[in-house]
Amino acid sequence: MMTAVDLFNTLEDLKEDEFKKFKWYLQQPNILEGYQSIKVSMLEDAERQDTVDVMVNTYHLHGALKVTKKVLEMINRNDLAQSLPDTSSGPEESVHVSDVGETSQNRGTPSSQSKGKLLYSLVSMEALSDKVAV
């Protein structure tokens, strides 16, 4: 399964001038049918991680993958485009990315930790009620 980290690693393989071209293409209208361009101000000073975040927030992960492949082909980096998984397989909805963008913004407790605490509390209560019942 493709992740934002894979997109970041792909952008890491671009030289600085290629990365600048990559961001320029993202700002062009109709880069890919059905996908909007990204505002210049959002990418102007963006490093590679920021660019991935902006793309995922704008296009969701599946769309960001499609756009990345398209732009890589436009800047003659077909080698990198081919290293990404094929975007034509499966419906777009099969990738739920609504939480991908949020994880970088919500720096709170990861849900798995809070679930663990809740479970621990429930187990403790059960143990306590067993003792009381005896």
Q: What per-residue confidence (pLDDT) applies to 75?
A: 97
Tokens of 110: 């990861």
What is residue 131's predicted lDDT score, i.e. its pLDDT? 53
Residue 37 lies in a domain: yes
The SS3 assignment for 106 reads coil
Domain membership of residue 124 (yes or no) is no
Residue 60 belongs to some domain of the structure? yes
Residue at 114 is within a domain: no
Residue 81 lies in a domain: yes
Q: Supply the pLDDT for residue 125.
A: 46
Would you call 112 helix, strand, or coil by DSSP? helix
Residue 105 maps to a domain: no
Model confidence pLDDT, tens digit, residues 38-69: 999 999 999 999 999 999 999 999 999 999 99
Domain of residue 85: give its range. 4-96
Instruction: Flag whether the pTM goes above 0.85.
Output: no
Is 120 inside any structural domain? Answer: no
14 in a structural domain: yes
Q: What is the pLDDT of residue 102?
A: 42
pLDDT of residue 133: 53
Instruction: Using DSSP, state whether 35 is helix, strand or coil.
Output: strand
Q: Tokens 């296009």 map to which residue?
A: 59
pLDDT at 88: 56
Domain count, the chain: 1
pLDDT of residue 89: 46
CATH code assigned at 54: 1.10.533.10
Main-chain phi, psi angles of 76, to 5 degrees: 60, 40
From first to last of the 134 residues of the chain, give the pLDDT tens digit: 778 999 999 999 999 999 999 999 999 988 788 899 999 999 999 999 999 999 999 999 999 999 999 999 999 999 999 988 876 544 444 334 444 444 444 444 444 444 444 444 444 444 444 555 55
